[in-house]
């Protein structure tokens, strides 16, 4: 039996134990009260590592009553992650530049746990988790996460940056709401923060509700929001081919698949590329956690 520990670090830290690539037992959460917001962002980086190491220690002990054992440890974090280093981390600025894999490996060694640590981008981990649960680990799986920012994840892992949320979808010079400062970006239209900056008088939820009631300005924006996502998705279809796209994240409720599909159909006209499929998934930490663990096991196999 392979044992992996998966960890997801977003607004909260959630960790779980995988036995033969399936979740086993209860998940651990930090903070234990999920209504507490913002506590991770203000936590020193060393403390964050200790919290994760503590969760991993607890989970690695569960099955055999004391002796710690895990074959691989996977941690999913938002941002740009390469070779175990967090190169960019907009939501947890204190871990930007951190050699997270090395630090966590050391913290675990101090607790008597020797296992390789793999760090994944959170959207990539969701793609891996979806591929694992659907029995599609041999196929290309792509995921858009729609939240404060816009994330793009893919499985199988491919070296690169893959900041799909910052793909340019418009040449309009007035489109400059992206958190990164770049002009014309997808996140500058679809991101929650960007929508609040655009509509200073309405919350994003109100914009979508007013659009449903027929408000012209809101309806126009909701259409732009869907066209932007269609444009980015069409670009990835034109680069890597058709296939399945999943949509998730805490604001996935704004998405109307028929509207997205109708825009996508105007953008993808070459017949070999039209066999794409689109699916909405409700966000669950289990998916990213499972994907982090599965990615860690795959990375381990690749290095053997
Ligand atoms: Zn951007």
CA of 164 to the centre of ligand 1 (A): 9
How buried is residue 239: exposed, middle or buried, by Cβ count under 10 Å (0-12/13-18/19+)? exposed
CA of 200 to the centre of ligand 1 (A): 20
DSSP 162: -
Q: Say how far apart CA 279 and CA 130 lie, in whole Å.
A: 11
pLDDT of residue 218: 97
Half-sphere exposure of 38 (CA within 13 A, CB side): 0
pLDDT of residue 232: 98
Q: Say how far apart CA 135 and CA 126 lie, in whole Å.
A: 14
The encoded tokens of residue 65 equal 């009553």
Q: Quick one: which of 296, 301, 299 has its CA closest to 60?
A: 296
The residue ranges of the chain whose pLDDT is under 70 are: 37-38, 62-68, 304
How buried is residue 38: exposed, middle or buried, by Cβ count under 10 Å (0-12/13-18/19+)? exposed
CA of 135 to the centre of ligand 1 (A): 33
CA of 148 to the centre of ligand 1 (A): 12
CA of 192 to the centre of ligand 1 (A): 13
Torsion of CA 9, 94, 114, 73, to 10 degrees: 20
CA of 185 to the centre of ligand 1 (A): 5
What does pTM read for this prediction? Answer: 0.92
CA of 190 to the centre of ligand 1 (A): 11
């Amino acid at each position: 039996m392979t044992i992996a520990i998966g960890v997801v670090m977003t607004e909260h830290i959630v960790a779980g134990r995988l036995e033969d690539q399936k979740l086993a037992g209860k998940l651990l959460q930090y903070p234990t009260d999920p209504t507490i917001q913002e506590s991770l962002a203000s936590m020193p980086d060393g403390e964050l590592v200790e919290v994760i190491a503590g969760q991993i220690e607890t989970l690695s002990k569960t099955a055999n009553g004391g002796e710690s054992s895990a074959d691989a440890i996977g941690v999913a974090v938002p941002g740009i992650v390469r070779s175990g280093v967090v190169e960019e981390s907009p939501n947890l600025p204190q871990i930007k530049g951190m050699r997270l894999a090395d630090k966590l490996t050391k913290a675990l060694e101090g607790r008597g746990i020797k296992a390789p640590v793999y760090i994944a981008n959170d959207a990539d981990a969701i793609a891996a988790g979806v591929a694992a649960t659907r029995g599609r680990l041999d196929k290309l799986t792509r995921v858009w996460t729609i939240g404060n920012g816009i994330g793009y994840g893919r499985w199988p892992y491919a070296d690169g940056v893959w900041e799909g949320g910052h793909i340019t979808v418009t040449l309009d010079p007035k489109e400059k709401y992206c958190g990164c400062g770049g002009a014309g970006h997808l996140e500058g239209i679809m991101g929650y923060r960007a929508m609040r900056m655009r509509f200073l008088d309405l919350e994003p939820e109100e914009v979508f509700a007013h659009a449903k009631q027929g408000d012209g300005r809101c309806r126009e924006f909701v259409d732009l929001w869907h066209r932007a996502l269609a444009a980015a998705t069409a670009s990835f279809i034109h680069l890597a081919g058709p296939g399945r796209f999943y949509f998730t994240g805490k604001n996935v409720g704004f998405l109307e698949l028929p509207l997205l599909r109708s825009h996508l159909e105007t953008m993808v006209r070459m017949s070999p590329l039209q066999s794409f499929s689109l699916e909405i998934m409700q966000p669950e930490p289990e998916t990213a956690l499972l994907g982090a663990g599965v990615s860690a096991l795959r990375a381990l196999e690749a290095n053997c």
